[in-house]
């Protein structure tokens, strides 16, 4: 395999750290860039000191001048708790960040992949969601800073491809979970696991009948790297996620069972614009990338529970 210089923005985050590990293991020269708003040096601790890994504190809303062959743009807080903390900055990260990394890719003629999101579909009217579905997003809602920021980033990627003949890749990531998730990020898997391990009440919003699909991080990184490696002129967007669908109540019950927790399930009102269902149509990923997830939910949850168990013991 040819060694490449690879830039990963948001590289110390949940997904970014797993991607950096995979790229370093394959012998690529990796530059990990992060402003550490939600990312953590602990996520890439095992990579520090390796000759083909470099860590840089930098915010993608400012230009970056480096020489690279490939760029993975993963920089943006992805959980409601974090992206709603400073919604203006969230939009800037998606939009200004896209402009800056695309400008870099244009200058150095690098292939660039945008980590987009299933949130571009909003609260969908069709199910499961194919890439042709244009979405139903509330531009004034509390999730809009993330949803619309990512939608605008996709537009920028497309326009840079058309206008500047850039080699782009756009993948829409559905719910992903695994080690290195932030323990306080407000996402259901991390929330439920932490609450269960502490024997605290598990918080369900609404009646728990809303559905999600959960993709284990290793499978997701497989799809992401397959997308970048694609030599054909196929830019996406491509859905990458697990089409197996579970209700939020089912997820909570599985986690209670796997942890042996004494936690009881409690119910709170459903937040505004929270999607009632979310599931990817991965027909395109199967055909284009020869990709589909292989990790069963129970297997992935067991690994994630083990990670959080260790994390909680260390933090006391």
Catalytic residues: 146
The CA-CA-CA angle for residues 286, 292, 296, to 5°, reads 160
3-state DSSP helix/strand/coil % of the chain, to nearest 5: 40, 20, 40
Rounded to an integer, what distance in angstroms lies between the CA atom of residue 119 and that of residue 117? 5
Measured over all CA atoms, what is the biggest interatomic distance in the chain, rounded to whole angstroms?
58
Q: Is 221 exposed, middle or buried (0-12, 13-18, 19+ CB in 10 A)?
A: buried
Residue 120: C-alpha distances to residues 51, 115, 150, 176 (Å): 38, 12, 7, 16
Rounded to an integer, what distance in angstroms lies between the CA atom of residue 7 and that of residue 112? 9
Residue 95: C-alpha distances to residues 61, 62, 91, 236 (Å): 8, 11, 6, 19
Shortest CA distance to 8 belongs to which of 55, 77, 61? 55
Shortest CA distance to 306 belongs to which of 265, 252, 255? 255
Between strands 5-9 and 70-73, the pairing is parallel
Rounded to an integer, what distance in angstroms lies between the CA atom of residue 314 and that of residue 173? 31
DSSP-derived 3-state class of residue 155: helix
CA 301 to chain centroid, in Å, comes to 17
Which two structure tokens, joined as six digits, stand for 98?
A: 């896209």
């Amino acid at each position: 395999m040819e060694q490449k210089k690879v830039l990963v923005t948001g590289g110390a985050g949940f997904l970014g750290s797993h991607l950096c590990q995979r790229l370093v293991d394959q012998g690529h020269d990796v530059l990990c860039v992060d402003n550490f708003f939600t990312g953590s040096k602990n996520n890439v601790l095992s990579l520090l000191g390796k000759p083909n890994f470099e860590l840089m504190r930098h915010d993608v809303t400012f230009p970056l001048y480096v020489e690279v062959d490939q760029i993975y743009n993963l920089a943006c807080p992805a959980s409601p708790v974090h992206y709603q903390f400073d919604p203006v900055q969230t939009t800037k990260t998606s939009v200004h960040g896209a402009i800056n990394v695309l400008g870099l890719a244009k200058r150095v003629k690098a292939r660039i992949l945008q980590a987009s999101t299933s949130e571009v579909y909003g609260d969908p009217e069709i199910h499961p969601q194919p890439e042709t579905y244009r979405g139903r997003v509330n531009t004034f809602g509390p999730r809009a800073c993330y949803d619309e920021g990512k939608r605008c980033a996709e537009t920028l990627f497309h326009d840079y491809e058309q206008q500047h003949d850039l080699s782009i890749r756009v993948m829409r990531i559905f719910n992903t979970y695994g080690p290195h998730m932030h323990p306080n990020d407000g996402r259901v898997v991390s929330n439920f696991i932490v609450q269960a391990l502490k024997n605290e009440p598990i918080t369900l919003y609404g009646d728990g009948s809303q559905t999600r699909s959960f993709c284990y991080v290793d499978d997701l990184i497989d799809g992401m790297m397959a997308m970048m490696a694609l030599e054909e002129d196929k830019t996406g967007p491509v859905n990458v996620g697990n089409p197996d669908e579970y209700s939020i109540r089912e997820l909570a019950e599985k986690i209670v069972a796997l942890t042996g927790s004494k936690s009881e399930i409690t119910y709170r009102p459903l937040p505004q614009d929270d999607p009632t269902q979310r599931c990817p149509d991965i027909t395109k990923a199967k055909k284009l990338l020869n990709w589909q997830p292989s990790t069963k939910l129970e297997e992935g949850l067991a690994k994630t529970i083990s990670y959080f168990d260790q994390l909680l013991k260390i933090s006391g």
